[in-house]
Structure 1
Amino acid sequence: MAEILSLENVSKKFKSGIRELTVLDNISFTVNEGDSMSIVGPSGSGKTTLLGLCAGLDVPSSGHVVLAGIRLDALNEDDRAYMRNQHVGFIFQNFQLLPTLTALENVRIPLELRGERGGKQLALDLLAKVGLGDRSDHYPSQLSGGEQQRVAIARAFITKPKILFADEPTGNLDEETAQTVTDLLFQLNRESGTTLVLVTHNMELAHFTDRILELRGGKLHADRLTVS
């Protein structure tokens, strides 16, 4: 199976006054197309920083990141943004819906950023799949947290991304709502065959994925397969 994501000796450092802080230290791994992987570890271990590097939201201080056959650290910011729009989907802990747009309009945003007109029926179909077929004209303020995250899931899948990055997708939800969102996320992921990389503190959620990568102190502490 072909690789969709590869990191080779990736480190990330930040300047803090006269000090230099190493957030990630010499991380290497690969992810194959269609696989799912969780990134876990204590707060401050570098999980979200690593996810951002994988998605091309930032570039490493050293090492290489290759996504969908494209070396991200060789691209400028505009080219990385174009690459994300073509190949990547995102789900965030705080939903990141635009408050002035309806659920339907929020789901269609990625297509509009590509310059693609239409897509209304596809967006409606995705909203129906996540159980919000009758809420398409509602604004985020009229939706519960769980409903907003379901809109975000529909938005993430509308471009049929090659890889989906999820940062604490159930972190702001109660246990029952989190289970509903988890079931929807993995159902849509199986149906689409999308590669999934997610950051989570929730080990129960992590065990839904094929593989768990554990960070400690910015280093790769463990990389193990889950028992299905």
Structure 2
Amino acid sequence: MSTILQAEHLTKTYRSADKQLTVLDDVSFSVNEGNSLAIIGPSGSGKTTLLGLCAGLDTPSSGTISVMGFKLNAMSEDDRAYLRNQYVGFVFQNFQLLSTLTALENVMVPLELRGVRDVASKARELLGRVGLADRSHHYPSQLSGGEQQRVAIARAFITDPKILFADEPTGNLDEENAHSVTELLFGMNKENATTLVLVTHNLELAQRTQRILRMRGGKLVEEIHQMQTA
């Protein structure tokens, strides 16, 4: 099984006034293609920063990150954006839907950015799979939080990503919606054989993955291999 994500000795520091703040301190791990991984830890432990670096949304102060065999450090921002558009899906805590677009149009955006035409039928199919076939022409303000996250999941999967990064995907949802979104996320992930890397405070969600990385104070302090798979 090939490695799809490789992080080696990642460190991220910021200058704050006259002090240097270390958010990540020498973090290394890898993820094999098709596997699922959760990153957990208290607020301020560096887990969201780590996810952003692995997704190429930010660059490390030192260390290297490879996705699909491409070294992100050696790539320009434009090249990293192209890599994300071709191979990466995202699901965020605050949904990040475009308020002026309908649910259908939001799902269509990633393929339209690729220059693909006639993507509406695939977007409608995905909205049907997430149970929102009858909400395709509603705007985000007309949807509940759970519905907005379902739209975001459909948008993430429309490009058939090789790897999906999810940052607190149930963090803004009530218990019932969190459960249904979890089932949907892991179900579609398994169906599409996508690699999943997620950041979460939700231990129940983390326990659905094959491995858990525990962060504290910017360091990777524990790695847990789990018997069950999603």
Q: TM-score range by the shorter chain?
A: over 0.9
SS in 1 for 2:152: helix
Partner of 2:216: 216
Query: Separation in 2 of the partners of 1:216 and 1:100?
Result: 39
Query: Separation in 2 of the partners of 1:49 and 1:180?
Result: 27
Counterpart of 2:172, as a letter, is: N
Query: Separation in 1 of the partners of 2:58 and 2:142?
Result: 33
Query: Separation in 2 of the partners of 1:166 and 1:118?
Result: 27
Query: Separation in 2 of the partners of 1:116 and 1:12?
Result: 36
Counterpart of 1:9, as a letter, is: H
TM-score (norm 1): 0.99
What percentage of aligned pairs have identical amino acids? 68
Partner of 1:7: 7
**1:70 and 2:55 equivalent?**
no
State the Cα distance separating 1:168 from its structure 2 match.
0.2
Partner of 1:205: 205
Partner of 1:30: 30
SS in 1 for 2:214: strand
Partner of 2:152: 152
Query: Separation in 2 of the partners of 1:6 and 1:95?
Result: 27
1:119-152 superposed Cα distances (whole Å, 9 cap, x missing partner): 1111111100100011111111111000000000
Query: Separation in 2 of the partners of 1:3 and 1:25?
Result: 22
Counterpart of 1:217, as a letter, is: G
Partner of 2:178: 178
State the Cα distance separating 1:227 from its structure 2 match.
3.1
Runs of 5+ unmatched residues, structure 1: none
Count of matched residue positions in the alignment of Structure 1 and Structure 2? 228
**1:102 and 2:105 equivalent?**
no
Partner of 1:137: 137
SS in 2 for 1:134: helix
Query: Separation in 1 of the partners of 2:223 and 2:121?
Result: 41
SS in 2 for 1:30: strand
Partner of 1:92: 92
Range with greater deviation from structure 2 (116-125 or 210-219): 116-125
Kindly report structure 1 stretches of 4+ aligned residues shifted beyond 3 Å: none
Counterpart of 2:6, as a letter, is: S
Query: Separation in 2 of the partners of 1:182 and 1:83?
Result: 26
Query: Separation in 2 of the partners of 1:121 and 1:100?
Result: 20
Partner of 1:18: 18
1:192-221 superposed Cα distances (whole Å, 9 cap, x missing partner): 000000000000000011110010000000
Query: Separation in 2 of the partners of 1:116 and 1:219?
Result: 41
Query: Separation in 2 of the partners of 1:18 and 1:75?
Result: 30
1:145-177 superposed Cα distances (whole Å, 9 cap, x missing partner): 000000000000000001000000000000011
Counterpart of 1:95, as a letter, is: F
Partner of 1:113: 113
Alignment of 1:36-47 (within 5 A): 36-47=36-47
